[in-house]
Amino acid sequence: MFLVKLGGSVITVKGRYRYFRPKAVQEIIGELKKKGEPFVLVHGGGSFGHIKAKEYGIPGAITEVRKMGYSIIHRDMVELNQRIINSLLDNKIRGVGVPPASFNGDLEKITQAMKEHMEAGLFPVSFGDVYINKAENRFEIVSGDDLVLELARVLRPREVYFLTDVDGIYDRNPKKHHDAVLLRELNDTATFEHVGTDVTGGMLKKASTVRDIAGLGTTVYVLNGNVPSRLNQINSKNFIGTVVK
Ligand code: ADP
Ligand code: IPE
């Protein structure tokens, strides 16, 4: 079994509210299917999550205004999830959405539900989502990356793949620095700049999550979701991406 995070930067256009990229998703699912092995998916929010989260100030204390934001963001995330499930079904893959908000963002419970779906021969698909933090009277956001870490801990996948819109982890932001160098293996020289609308930490947080997963003994690949054929070149010399062991 393998575990895949579909980054919001691949499945949506991050700067355009609710702009889905159906072709990118279809192509990725086509490559995952070729692997001929069960998988668990987690997807990010992209422009279905971050734009409204920023606009409404979520995460933040519960207020009347934020209640509206919470409802809108969860609605948008479920819609994005349904589009991915539709893509899976188009490929005859039995995808089932598992929304974190329904479990109050409790990572253990979400993971248990994912596990049970997997054991029943289904393909669970969870995502970054809003949730209620009752103890502190706040609305929070769980990122898809946090979920992947917990799932890796419990499900012990053979490999984990993070797909974003760049070739992997570079020594600095490749969108700003044309001379940025792709790191074939993650080391400590990388620097990360914050990306405008991201409310969950961007590449900096991702790099630390990836290290944590590798620390469990699972190899992690960070690769370009816009060139999904690379998912099937992982063990070849020609593979382009960052490997974290
Ligand atoms: P996703 O939301 O798809 O999971 P992010 O948008 O959080 O991914 O992260 C990908 C983005 O991180 C890239 O588009 C890139 O511009 C930015 N970035 C910043 N620093 C780096 C770096 N050192 N290496 C790779 N990408 C970086
Ligand atoms: C964000 O999830 C979810 C919301 C903002 C509601 P992620 O942090 O996993 O999303 P991406 O991959 O960065 O877009």
Pocket test residue of 50, 110, 208 for ligand 2, highest count of atoms within 8 A of CB: 50
Question: Any idea what the CATH number is for the domain that residue 113 is in?
Answer: 3.40.1160.10
Say how many domains are in the chain.
1
- CB-based contact 5:42 (threshold 8 Å): yes
Q: Is the pTM of this model over 0.85?
A: yes
Which pLDDT score is estimated for 235?
Answer: 87
Nearest ligand to the CA atom of 186: 1
Would you say the CB of residue 199 lies under 6 angstroms from ligand 2? yes
Full DSSP string of 162-230 = EEESSSS-BSS-TTT-TT--B-SB--TT------TT-SS-HHHHHHHHHHHHHHTT-EEEEEETTSGGG
Tell me, using a 6 A CB cutoff, whether residue 183 lines ligand 1. Answer: no
Closest CA to 157 of 186, 124, 199, 201: 124
Domain extent for 127: 2-244
pLDDT tens track for 98-129: 999 999 999 999 999 999 999 999 999 999 99
Torsion angles phi and psi, residue 189, rounded to 5: -85, -10
Q: Which atom of ligand 1 is nearest to the CA of 183?
A: 24
Q: Which ligand 1 atom sits closest to the C-alpha of 201?
A: 7
Q: Tell me the pLDDT of the chain averaged across its residues.
A: 94
Closest CA to 210 of 169, 173, 171, 170: 169
Asked if residue 148 has pLDDT above 60, the reply is: yes
> How many angstroms is it from 94 CA to the middle of ligand 1?
30
